[in-house]
Amino acid sequence: MTSVSNSKTIKPNTLKAVPPGDPRDRGGALQPLLLVENLRKHFPIKGGIFNRRVASVKAVDDVSFEVLKGETLGVVGESGCGKSTLARLLMNLIDRDEGALVFDGDQVGDQGGISLRQLRRNMQMVFQDSSSSLNPRLPIMDSVAYGPQVHGTPSKVAQQTARELLEKVGLSPDLFASRYPHELSGGQKQRVNIARALALDPRLLILDEAVSALDKSVEAQVLNLLRYLKTHLSLTYLFISHDLHVVQYISDRVLVMYLGEIVEIGPVDDIYSTPKHPYTQALLASQLSMDPAERVTEAPLSGDPPNPVDPPSGCRFHTRCPFAETVCSQNTPSLGKRNDPQRHSVACHMHEPGSGHSRTQSPPVYVPSHGAATPKNERRLQGAL
Ligand SMILES: Nc1ncnc2c1ncn2[C@@H]1O[C@H](COP(=O)(O)OP(=O)(O)O)[C@@H](O)[C@H]1O
Ligand code: SF4
Ligand SMILES: [Mg+2]
C-alpha cells in the first residue's frame, strides 16, 4: 500500500485482495493463462493495375510463448519489430494468418473453445495514446461504464461499478466522474483507461506502451498503481515497452523481439544480468546510464533494422551481428523445445550445440557496462577469450 505514490486518493479499504482460488481459474496454477502457438501475421502490400498482393510485411512470424498466471511478461524490441501487432493479434483486433491461441486451456475462437466475446471479458488492452482511447463527448464515468453495459449489465449497476473503479485507480468519483477527457491530465486519462480496461473484471491486461507517453514522475505513479492493482485484483500483465528500465522494474519474465521473431525469453534477472543474444546485449548496452564512467561513446547497435518486407535469411540479426558467420545467414536458429516456460531460451547459433558456429562452445562474454555487439567490443572480447 505504501508503494502507491498517490495513496492520498486511494482509500486503503477500497481494494480487497482476491481470495486464493479464483473461481474463474480452470486449469490450475501450472496451466499457462495464455498459450501462443506459431502466431503469424503478414500484412499484404498491394500494387499493380489489379491491386494484387505484391509483397508482405512480415510483422509477426512464427511466434510461440506462454503467459503464466499471475506474472508480468515484459515485451521489448526496437520500434517496428512487431510488438503492437502481436498485442492486436492476441486481442483478436486483427485476424491472424496462422497460429493458435489457448486461454486457460480453451482454444480461442474454436467451436467448443472460448468465444471472442468471452475472450474480451477476460482480456483487455490499454494503449499508449490516452486521449484517443476515450470518447471526448462522454463523461469519464460513462466511458468506464460503457463496457459492462454492452455486456448486458444494467445501466445503474454499471455506473456504480464505474465509480468504484475510478476510486480504485486513484480518481475520486465525486471529483472526476462527471469530467470530460479534455479536463484531465495525461496521467489521469491513463488512469481512466486502466479503470475502463478493468470494468469487465479481466484476468489478463495487455499494456502496449501504456506509460511511455507520460512524464517520468507520473509514469512512476501509474507503474506503482499497476503493480498494486495486479496484486489486489489477481491480474496477469503482458507489458509492452521500448523502455528497458521500466520493463526491468515491472516484469517477472522478459521476451525480446527482433523483426517479428522472438530472439530471447527468460526470467527478468537472467535476461538483464546475463543476456545471451547479441541483440539483447546490444539493447541493454544502449541503455542510458547515470554513471559517467558507464556511458557508452559508441552506439552498441548501428544502422536501422532491415526491411520487414524482405528480412535477412537465416538469423534475421546477421546483418548487424558482430559474431555472424556463414551458418547464420544459411540456417534459422530456434528457441528450442521449451518444456519449462521459466527457462532462459535464446535463438542464436552460438548457443546451439552442433550448429556449426565456431563459437558454439565459448559464446562471447557479456560486458554489461559497454555492451558486446560493437566492433570495438568484439576486439576486446576476442582478447578476453
Ligand atoms: N496495418 C498494417 N499494414 C501494413 N503494415 C503494418 C500494419 N501495422 C503494422 N505494420 C508494420 O508491421 C511492422 C510491425 O509494426 P508494429 O507491430 O506496430 O511494431 P512496434 O509496435 O514494435 O513498433 C512494421 O513494419 C509496421 O510498419
Ligand atoms: S545466430 Fe549468428 S548472426 Fe544470429 S545472433 Fe547468433 S551469432 Fe549473431
Ligand atoms: Mg507499437
Mean pLDDT across the stretch 56-77? 96
Task: Label residue 370 by pLDDT band (50, 70, 90).
Answer: very low
Q: How far does residue 104's CA lie from ligand 2's centre (Å)?
A: 34
Give the pLDDT score at 256: 98
SS3 101: strand
Tell me the β-bridge partners of 265: 255, 345
Residues 168 and 286 in one domain: no
Q: How far does residue 242's CA lie from ligand 3's centre (Å)?
A: 9
Residues 362 and 247 in one domain: no
Contacts of residue 242, Cβ cutoff 8 Å, sequence gap at least 6: 76, 77, 78, 79, 209, 212
The C-alpha cell 496477469 sits at 236
**CA nearest to 240, candidates 60, 6, 38, 17:** 60
Which atom in ligand 1 lies closest to the alpha carbon of residue 260? 14
SS3 188: helix
Is residue 173 assigned to a domain? yes
Residues 42 and 141 in one domain: yes
Residues 244 and 282 in one domain: no
130, 189 Cβ separation under 8 angstroms: yes
Distance from chain centroid for Cα 192: 20
Say which ligand is closest to the CA of 209: 3
Task: Label residue 299 by pLDDT band (50, 70, 90).
Answer: low
Distance CA 365, CA 241 (A): 27
In this structure, the residue with its CA closest to atom 6 of ligand 1 is 43
Does 333 sit in the ligand 2 pocket, CB within 6 Å?
A: yes
The three grid cell numbers given for residue 336, joined into one nine-digit string: 528450442
The three grid cell numbers given for residue 90, joined into one nine-digit string: 492476441
349, 357 Cβ separation under 8 angstroms: yes
Instruction: Answer yes or no: is pLDDT of 15 > 50.
Output: no
Distance CA 181, CA 166 (A): 14
Residues 233 and 279 in one domain: no
Give the pLDDT score at 9: 41
φ, ψ for residue 287, nearest 5 deg = -65, 140
Q: How far does residue 288's CA lie from ligand 3's centre (Å)?
A: 21
Instruction: Answer yes or no: is pLDDT of 65 > 70.
Output: yes
Distance CA 278, CA 366 (A): 9
Which atom in ligand 1 lies closest to the alpha carbon of residue 240? 21
Residues 115 and 240 in one domain: yes
Mean pLDDT across the stretch 287-292? 68
Task: Label residue 10 by pLDDT band (50, 70, 90).
Answer: very low
Is residue 238 assigned to a domain? yes
Which atom in ligand 1 lies closest to the alpha carbon of residue 78? 22
Q: How far does residue 202's CA lie from ligand 3's centre (Å)?
A: 22
Which atom in ligand 2 lies closest to the alpha carbon of residue 355? 1
Residues 239 and 296 in one domain: no
In this structure, the residue with its CA closest to atom 4 of ligand 1 is 43
Mean pLDDT across the stretch 313-334? 96
Is residue 261 assigned to a domain? no
Domain boundary among 251, 284, 305: 251
Say which ligand is closest to the CA of 364: 2
Q: pLDDT tens-digit profile of 157-168? A: 999 999 999 999
Give the pLDDT score at 292: 67
Looking at residue 214, what DSSP letter applies?
S
Task: Label residue 366 by pLDDT band (50, 70, 90).
Answer: low
Q: How far does residue 212's CA lie from ligand 3's centre (Å)?
A: 11
Distance CA 86, CA 45 (A): 19
Is residue 175 assigned to a domain? yes
Which atom in ligand 1 lies closest to the alpha carbon of residue 44? 4
Mean pLDDT across the stretch 354-372? 71
Task: Label residue 112 by pLDDT band (50, 70, 90).
Answer: confident
Looking at residue 61, what DSSP letter applies?
E
Give the pLDDT score at 385: 28
Distance CA 165, CA 197 (A): 10
Mean pLDDT of the chain: 86
Residue range(s) defining the domain that contains residue 324: 275-384
Q: pLDDT tens-digit profile of 117-164? A: 889 899 999 998 878 889 999 999 999 999 999 989 999 999 999 999
Residues 222 and 106 in one domain: yes
Residues 247 and 167 in one domain: yes
Residues 230 and 361 in one domain: no
Q: pLDDT tens-digit profile of 236-277? A: 999 999 999 999 999 999 999 999 999 999 999 999 999 999
Residues 160 and 46 in one domain: yes
Does 315 sit in the ligand 2 pocket, CB within 6 Å?
A: yes
Is residue 127 assigned to a domain? yes
- What b/e sequence results for 316-327 when a residue is b if at least 16 CB atoms lie within 10 Å of its CB, and e otherwise? bbbebbbbbbeb
CATH label of the domain that carries residue 31: 3.40.50.300
Mean pLDDT across the stretch 34-48? 94
Q: Does 358 or 287 have the greater pLDDT score?
A: 358
Is residue 266 assigned to a domain? no
In this structure, the residue with its CA closest to atom 1 of ligand 1 is 43
Does 323 sit in the ligand 2 pocket, CB within 6 Å?
A: yes
149-158 long-range contacts (CB < 8 A, ≥24 apart) are 151/117, 151/121, 151/200, 158/199
Residues 213 and 344 in one domain: no
Query: In the chain, what's the furthest Cα-to-Cα distance?
Result: 71
Task: Return the percentage of the chain with pLDDT > 90, whole number.
Answer: 68
Mean pLDDT across the stretch 64-86? 96
Indicate the number of domains in the chain: 2
Q: Does 291 or 63 have the greater pLDDT score?
A: 63
Give the pLDDT score at 365: 62
Q: How far does residue 233's CA lie from ligand 1's centre (Å)?
A: 32
Q: How far does residue 146's CA lie from ligand 3's centre (Å)?
A: 26
Does 372 sit in the ligand 2 pocket, CB within 6 Å?
A: no
Is residue 260 assigned to a domain? no
Contacts of residue 325, Cβ cutoff 8 Å, sequence gap at least 6: 349, 356, 357, 358
Q: Which residues line ligand 1 (CB under 6 A)?
A: 43, 57, 59, 77, 79-85, 308
Domain boundary among 193, 218, 251: 251
Task: Say if pTM beats, i.e. exceeds, 0.85.
Answer: yes
Give the pLDDT score at 213: 87
Task: Return the percentage of the chain with pLDDT > 70, whole number.
Answer: 85
Distance CA 338, CA 328 (A): 22
Give the pLDDT score at 297: 60
φ, ψ for residue 192, nearest 5 deg = -65, -40
Give the pLDDT score at 300: 67
Is residue 262 assigned to a domain? no
Query: Among the listed ranges 10-19, 54-63, 231-240, which one has the minimum average pLDDT value?
Result: 10-19
Q: pLDDT tens-digit profile of 192-214? A: 999 999 999 999 999 999 998 88
The C-alpha cell 552442433 sits at 354
Task: Label residue 11 by pLDDT band (50, 70, 90).
Answer: very low
Give the pLDDT score at 267: 97
Instruction: Answer yes or no: is pLDDT of 290 > 90.
Output: no
Q: Does 3 or 52 have the greater pLDDT score?
A: 52
Give the pLDDT score at 285: 87
Q: How far does residue 209's CA lie from ligand 3's centre (Å)?
A: 7
